Amino acid sequence: MHLFACLKFPLVYQLEAELNNLLAGDRYLKPFVIPKPEVTVVPRAKDDDCLILASDGLWDVMSNEDACKIARRQILLWYKNKNDGAYSDEGGGEPTMNLAAKAAADCLVRLALMKGSNDNISVIVIDLKSRKKPKGKS
């Protein structure tokens, strides 16, 4: 029991030190990490379905084409299967979130995890089409 306690504390100290280093930022990487984002301006087209903003955790395990196909399919499936509105109306005010786009983002995160992504995974999907379920059809 005493030996376990002696081994435990240095390990905890080392993990805390590494965590503090991550929280403070890896200063030794500064020469290799640029603070300027990579920006590409692309004109919108009528057939644009959605915009995906995501961190490396998604793009490390999935191509742009695959992510777009999956997001488009999830949005269309959401509209096909849901009878209620596309937007969440939390608090009775203005709509706050497109639930179809949220379903697509959630799906992309789950797929990135299933593909073994080892990086942070953040995904935002913006539905660029105004889609409304036709009334009277189920």
What is the CB neighbour count within 10 angstroms for residue 100?
23
* Contact present, 131 and 86 (Cβ < 8 Å): yes
Q: Of 93 and 97, which is predicted with more confidence?
A: 97
Whole-number pLDDT of residue 63: 95
In this structure, the strands spanning 50-54 and 97-98 are unpaired
Indicate the pLDDT class of residue 103, thresholds 50, 70 and 90: very high
pLDDT the model gives residue 36: 75
Coil vs helix vs strand at 52: strand
In contact, 123 and 52? CB cutoff 8 Å: yes
Calculate mean pLDDT across residues 62-74: 95
Q: What is the pLDDT of residue 117?
A: 93
Tokens of residue 3, six digits = 């030996």
Two tokens, residue 102: 């949220």
Tell me, yes or no, if the pTM score tops 0.75: no
Beta strands per DSSP E along the chain: 50-54, 87-88, 97-98, 123-127
